[in-house]
A and B are shown apart, each in its own frame.
Chain A
Amino acid sequence: MSVPHDTIGAEYPGFFKRLSLTDWLWAALVTVSTVFVLAMFGGYMDIYQVITLIIHAVAGIWLGWYWKPFRGYALAVGLLSVLGVLSYGDSLARAETNFFLKYLVSGQSAVMWMCALLFMSTAAYIAYLFRREATGTAGVVPALVIAGGATVLGGGLLWLGQGGIIPGLEWVSPLAFLVAVGALTGPLSRTEFSAQVGGALAWTAATFGLVGLFVRWRETYLHDPAWGYIPVSNLWEVFVLFCVITVLMYLYYEGRSRNRGMGGFVLLLVSSAVAFLLFYTLDRQAHEVQPLVPALQSWWMKVHVPANFIGYGGFAIAAMVGVAYLMRAHGERHRPNGLLATRLPGRQVLDDVMYKTIAIGFAFFTIATVLGAMWAAEAWGGYWSWDPKEVWALIVWLNYAAWLHMRFTKGWRGVPMAWWSIVGLFVTTFAFVGVNMFLGGLHSYGEM
């Protein structure tokens, strides 16, 4: 570069110039692994699979460059998944005898680890909101009051559920207890410590969740090579996927906004998915691997479902950030020095994250819906059949399209948009699980 000295720093270096040695090591690692896989297993792969692998490698390199923490995550997921697959060998029975499988990385164990870690992470993030002030004891009393209230609520839910008065409520009670634990332990710390713990736990949980899905993928082949399928095909599996994707997306936006105050809200929603997952596993044994029905045996599923869940994850985060926004706005109006107005992230940050998560959710939901139409054209004889699931996907899409329009063209911000994003999550949830439960149609795979 031969430029005058005084302009050296002013010129923004090109993209590749900005990459560090670690970035290049990452690229080399991904490339070597890909070449290794091609050399070892290339013979079993058809041209589409080879292309898919290469696309994933390129996307992986790019993601690692764009979002640095992803590299450590990918490495951990890769190593643990390989450990799981190698521990199995070719016998499913080792799940009971092999130490690693039994306690750590079999599909089922890993997902249970994810559930436990997500609960802990939620409590830690909530604790961060109730941290003690640098000076004085302000906030301790409200924390204790909330802890007490949440305990009573949790106990009540447990009692109603266990007593058979309103069966099922016992599975909701952990959420209240998590709030109680968070509020109780929060004042022990004055620093960001509990949020850092929450973040580390969330990263670990997302690792175990994805490892669980990857190892389960192998397990489907161990049950019977003719069964083998990617585990995003029933309600249990997609709930795991939802937890993993939502947590990862949250962690990305936490890093970008440099604010850990949203964790308690987002993770609480993820915890409710975990509660459902626990109910579904322990009460309904829904985690058992079953072969796919013919309608689901399509490679479209592999792209349609994950794209959809990036959408759902984005909308879920936006809604919980919306809740935080409303609480913050309420606090600022009524008690400017209270916990709500001082502990929650600023309105501008919340508004920005809400917009960003809805934007990415909308973009991927668009892709997912288009992919779904293409799949439908191949499976049901028409790209659009006005099937209930399709119609509700359209309604979700229209809802967020309208949200974005109002923000762009009318400049809407703040409280109404927060409310709208919360309502949006209810619409989305109905489209996700409600349609399958209540309306049926061609899309009714995830039955209760």
Chain B
Amino acid sequence: MSRSPQDSASPRRPSRLAILVSFLGSMNLAITLLVVLAVASVVGTLLEQNQPFQNYLMNFGPFWHELFRTLNLYNVYAAGWFLFVLAFLVISTAVCIYRTTPTMLRDMRSFRLGVREKSLRGFAHNVQSEAHPEPPEQVLERAGKVLGSRGYRIRQVEQSDGTRLLSAMRGSGNRLGYFFAHGAIVIICVGGLIDGSVPLKLAEMTGRLELETREIPASQVPEQSRLGDSNLSFRGSVEIPEGHSADVAFITIRDGYVVQDLPFRIEVKDFRVQRHETGQERAYESDLVIHDDTLDEPLARTVRVNEPLVHRGHAIYQASFRDGGSFLDLDLHHLGRGAREPLPLDVRVYGNHVQELTDGNRYTFEFTGLQTHNMGTVVDTDGNPERRDMGPSLDYTIRDPSGAGTFYRAMKNPMERDGTNFMLTGVRHSMAEPFQYLYVPQDPDGRGVDRFMRMVSAIHDDQRVADVVGEVAASAARQFHGSQGDVPLEVVESIMIRLMDLFVQGGYDAIVADIEQRAPQHQWDALMDLFGRVVNMTLRELYIQVLEEEGIDSMSGENAAYLDDALVALDALPHFGSDFLITFNDFEQVQASGLMISKAPGQNVVYFGSLMLILGVFLMLYMSHRRCWLMVRPAGQGSQLVFAGTSNRNMLEFNEEFDTLSRYVLGQEIPSDATGSDPARSENSPR
């Protein structure tokens, strides 16, 4: 970053130190380091950082994984070599500043009164006159005014031979910009180093700090995995359920963590998600109370995203949230004969429930997550898609006795479709699949699913099915007549019972599969039609009985429609993945607020450096260091003169300025109106 690679013209051989300084401060080194940093940074953005090693191994294979891991590419910005290059760049910049400072200062202050006439005559910008009509005093006086009024500082000397030199310059702040901009880089990097992970790395390398990888309470984490108050800077996080408090933060490092002790205790009173009317999130906020012995009374504050709380150099941010163990009110239905008598469950999110069946098999229910809002797109009556909140949902996993899990999502609110309310339960067999939803129709009168559960009980009740088959067999037999001649009633009954059995085991699909397996192909269509009607007769009769139990004796409109919806759900039930259905009645939410806590004493250093950087950049780019010289000596009545100038930036503008200046200095042009004389913008200035 140095601008003068060869500023010493001394004939002696340079010392070792001088060579080193020259190397460190050289532009080529700086550029090389910058390129290395840039490439490493790009790698860091392309390779997702700080993932579990398992993921990398799967993506890259063992060879590349090992190479990348050795190069520390998975956490490149904290890698030793990356920090080393960064430090080297800081040193290089500092050396460059050190080497350039004397020249720069000289340049800023010096008016270069020793300039030679020959070199002035060689300048790209110069005007010469061997026989100027005015005497030197007059030219010098006017030149002083012209240049002075344009912000030039002026010095004059008279040389021994009577030659007088006027030297003027402006914009030496441009040189100051160099110090600001380059010094800022050093300051920013030093500030970043204060807040960076270097001390932690050192502590880890020297063995003073060990990573904890077990999932244990913070209080049980051993001393060698804890950091005390004295730690200068850190960035950690902690999840605190509502009504609880914590005085530690966790710092995640690779596949482990360390515990950072805080000098105060943070209590979370309440966590809220504020929402717009449309249901989209408007704000995440936590009511915090800071308990600190140095405070007269606890400090109560609300933090939000973008509004942290700063206490004793620690900034506390709203970073995330999750469920803190909400209370759930559920009904567990075993989808068999006993479906109508559900088991009320009183559990919490992240809790388990173990259900042992009469056959001795144990099923485990894990309640994994509660969402209070689910934004979904619904098509409204005009056919326009509309974002709408589908209400709360509960995710749970059912593990069978072998430990294999099936994943479910129970919606709390019913969803309306074509005028009927359905209770939705999603099922999937792996986390990668989308949920498939079971639509269970709700009772027409109320909000429960009692009637559906009665139907489930009924179709699983063998005795009851047999009774119903006995009642409808006679009319069913007439259906058989039409196609196959006389069929004995017992045969019809046994077929009907077997069909019901198939339906319960696998829905209509099972009946179809059974036909395709047993009958010749030309009979398939006829049999499917026949068996479908017969099964539906049985189901319909069972349904009439269920209605009678409820005290309803007519199949009115809504009750008839209900049967169709119920049959769809009953048909899907065997594909539901388990014999259990949970209805989600209510919940009482308890949330945990995810707070990030950081201490960054270098922050103000970095901000100061940034300010310097901006100032420096503007000075460097928008100020040009311009110099003009007027060398005059008497010649007859008039004078002989050279007017020359130079600028280190913005040559095109200086071209124009020098043109104007030279004309004014030589008295060749007196502008008629003052307002139009801006040299940078006057329309008629030559190009």
Binding site for B on A (CB under 8 A): 3, 6-13, 17-20, 224, 226-227, 258, 290-291, 293-295, 297-298, 348-349, 352, 359-360, 362-363, 366-367, 370, 373-374, 377-384, 386, 388, 391-392, 394-395, 398-399, 402, 404-405, 408-410, 435, 439, 441
Binding site for A on B (CB under 8 A): 1-3, 27, 31, 34, 37-38, 41-42, 44-46, 49, 77, 141-142, 145-146, 149-150, 192, 195, 235, 276-278, 280-284, 304-308, 315, 317, 319, 596-598, 600, 603, 606-607, 610-611, 613-614, 617-618, 621-622, 651-652, 664-665, 667, 669-672, 674-675, 677-678, 687
Q: Is the CB of A373 within 8 A of B606?
A: yes
Q: Is the CB of B1 within 8 A of A362?
A: no
Q: Is the CB of B613 within 8 A of A370?
A: yes
Q: Is the CB of B280 within 8 A of A391?
A: no
Known: A9-B670, A370-B614, A391-B44. A386 touches B603 (CB 8 A): no
Q: How far is the CB of A422 from chain B (nearest CB, A)?
A: 18
Q: Is the CB of B45 within 8 A of A378?
A: no
Known: A10-B664, A297-B305. A377 touches B603 (CB 8 A): yes
Given contacts A12-B677, A366-B613, 7 further A-B contacts (CB under 8 A): A10-B142, A17-B674, A291-B276, A291-B278, A294-B281, A382-B598, A441-B45
Q: Is the CB of A224 within 8 A of B306?
A: no
Residue of A nearest to B237 (CB): A381
Q: Is the CB of A363 within 8 A of B621?
A: yes
Q: How far is the CB of B500 from chain A (nearest CB, A)?
A: 51
Q: How far is the CB of B386 from chain A (nearest CB, A)?
A: 12
Residue of B nearest to A3 (CB): B145
How far apart are the CA atoms of A363 and B621 in the complex, in Å?
Answer: 8
Q: Is the CB of A10 within 8 A of B282?
A: no
How far apart are the CA atoms of A291 and B611 in the complex, in Å?
Answer: 33
How far apart are the CA atoms of A382 and B607 in the complex, in Å?
Answer: 12
Known: A379-B306, A386-B44. A10 touches B603 (CB 8 A): no
* Residues of B contacting A394 in the complex (Cβ-Cβ under 8 angstroms): 38, 41
Q: How far is the CB of A300 from chain B (nearest CB, A)?
A: 8
How far apart are the CA atoms of A378 and B607 in the complex, in Å?
Answer: 13
Q: How far is the CB of A284 from chain B (nearest CB, A)?
A: 13
* Residues of B contacting A293 in the complex (Cβ-Cβ under 8 angstroms): 280-281
Q: Is the CB of B610 within 8 A of A373?
A: yes
Q: Is the CB of A392 within 8 A of B45?
A: yes
Q: Is the CB of A8 within 8 A of B42?
A: no
- Checking A291, A366, A378, A408 against B282 with a beta-carbon cut-off of 8 angstroms, the contacting residue is A291
Main secondary structure of the interface of A (DSSP, over half): helix
* Residues of B contacting A18 in the complex (Cβ-Cβ under 8 angstroms): 674-675, 677-678
Q: How far is the CB of B395 from chain A (nearest CB, A)?
A: 23
Q: How far is the CB of B383 from chain A (nearest CB, A)?
A: 15
Residue of B nearest to A259 (CB): B687
Residue of A nearest to B191 (CB): A383
Q: Is the CB of A402 within 8 A of B46?
A: no
How far apart are the CA atoms of A380 and B617 in the complex, in Å?
Answer: 27
- Checking B284, B603, B617 against A366 with a beta-carbon cut-off of 8 angstroms, the contacting residue is B617
Known: A395-B41, A395-B42, A402-B34. A381 touches B319 (CB 8 A): yes
How far apart are the CA atoms of A441 and B598 in the complex, in Å?
Answer: 20
Known: A381-B317, A384-B192, A408-B3. A6 touches B142 (CB 8 A): yes
Q: How far is the CB of B414 from chain A (nearest CB, A)?
A: 27
Can you list 22 A-B contacts with CB-CB less than 8 angstroms, sorted by A residue number?
A9-B664, A9-B674, A10-B146, A12-B149, A12-B150, A224-B276, A291-B282, A294-B306, A362-B621, A363-B622, A366-B613, A378-B307, A381-B317, A383-B606, A386-B41, A388-B45, A394-B38, A395-B38, A395-B41, A398-B37, A408-B3, A435-B45
Residue of B nearest to A392 (CB): B45
- Checking A12, A290, A295, A410 against B305 with a beta-carbon cut-off of 8 angstroms, the contacting residue is A295
Residue of A nearest to B317 (CB): A381
Q: Is the CB of A226 within 8 A of B276?
A: yes
Residue of B nearest to A369 (CB): B610
* Residues of A contacting B600 in the complex (Cβ-Cβ under 8 angstroms): 377, 382-383
Q: How far is the CB of A286 from chain B (nearest CB, A)?
A: 15
Residue of B nearest to A435 (CB): B45
